Structure 1
Amino acid sequence: MNVHPLPPSALKGEGMTSQRARDRLATKLKEEGIRDQRVIDVIRNTPRHHFIDQALHSRAYENTALPIGHGQTISQPWVVARMTEALLEFGVPQKVLEIGTGSGYQAVVLAQVVPQIYTVERIEELLRQARRRFRQLGLSNIRSRHDDGKLGWADEAPFDAIILTAAGDAIPHAILDQLGPTGVLVAPVGSPSNQMLIRMRGDGQGDFIQEELGAVSFVPLLGGIG
C-alpha cells in the first residue's frame, strides 16, 4: 500500500506514456528479479515521462537510463527498483536521506512508501526542476536542499536509511556518520568502469554489515555546488 499515492491526474498519458506502457515496465521488472510488490506497484504508478525532456517521452518506460542534462541521467528503472527494494527489505525506514536528487524520480518513488525524504542536489537547475515536479505531484513529504551532497544533511541526522545516486571510490565519512545505529545505506561504489551496488547495515554497536548487490553504472559523486 502506498503511504503517499500520487493523484490520478498525474498518471495521464497516451501511447508510449500510457498506463499500458507503465504496466509493461512493471511486468519486466518482476521478470528481471524485483520481488517487492510494493516497489513494483509504485514504479507502475509513477509517471516517469514527467522527469525527462518531452523529446524523450517515447522512451520513458524503457528499462534504460536517459539523459536529463548537466551531464546527469535518470537511472534505469530496474536500478531504482532494486535500490528501493534493498532499503525496504528490513522494514520501512521513517526518515531517508537521498544524495543526488537529479530529476527527482528516485525521491518520488521513495516518497510513496516512506514517510519522510530529505534529498540533496549540488546542481541548482536540476533541483529547481525536481522541486517543481514534487509540487505538481502533490508530495509534501519531500524536503530538498541545494548543497554539496558529500556533506549530507547533518542538521536532520540521524537517518534510518541513506541512498546515494552517484558513485565514489568510498562512502564519505560525513554521510556514514549521519546513518542511525541500525540504519541501512545503499550506494554504488567504485570507478566508472568497475562499480558495485552495496548495502551497509548498522549493527547497533558502531560497526557495519556490508553486502554486494550487483554491478551497476552511475555518474560520479562530485563535491561542491553548481
Structure 2
Amino acid sequence: MKSIYQSAEEAVSHVKDGDTIMVGGFGLCGIPENLIIALRDSGVKDLTVISNNCGIDDWGLGLLLHNKQIKKMIGSYVGENKEFERQVLSGELEVELVPQGTLAEKIRAGGAGIPAFYTPAGVGTPVAEGKEVREFNGKEYVLEEAFKADVSFVRAWKGDKMGNLVYRKTARNFNPMIAAAGKITVAEVEELVEKGSFDPNEVHTPSIYVQHLFQAEQEKRIERRTVSN
C-alpha cells in the first residue's frame, strides 16, 4: 500500500528549495492542479521545473511563475504566458527550450535508466550548440542527455491504493513518462479505488513508479474557449 495523503500540503512536503521537479500535463490538460496550488502556497523557491509548458498567467505552473518560485524552466512551448515572456526578457528566469519529441524522449529515457541518446532533431541549430554530434549511416545526430527529477507530480483519472494509475484520453499526455522519471512520484487522482479494481491490461503507470497518492477534484480549466454561431 502506498502513502495516501489527506491534504495537498502533505503531498508536496518532499520538495525543497533548489529541487528539480517534473510536472505532467499539456497546456492545462492533465495537470495536477491541487498539487501546483499547494506548491505555490508552500513558498518553496529556486525550483528547476521540467514540463511541456508553463501553464497560463493565472493557472497551472503560471501560479509558481507569478510567485517567482521557478529559477529555471525546461519545456517545449511557452506561448500562452505573458509573465513568462516578461521574466525571460528581464533576466529573472532561465529557460531551456527543447524540441517536443526530444523533451518526451529525454524524460522517457530518464525513467528507463538510459543516460543519453542520439537524435536528428536540432542538428545545425542552437539546440545542438555545445553538444556532441555524430554521423550514423550518412546522417548527423546530436547527443541528448536524459532528464531525472527529485520529485515528479502527475495527474491521473483513477488510481488504486497500490499506486497503479489510469489516465483519461488526452490527459494521459506526458504523465506516464514523468511518473517514471522522478526519484519520488506523487500522483493526484480524481478517483481512488481499492487494489484489484483494475484489469492489469488497463494500467498505464504501474505502481512501482508511484510512491504517494492524493485524491482531489479538479477545475479542468480550458486555455482558449472557441465557439461558433
* TM-score, with structure 1 as normaliser: 0.37
Specify which structure has the higher proportion of helix. Answer: 1
**Structure of larger gyration radius:** 2
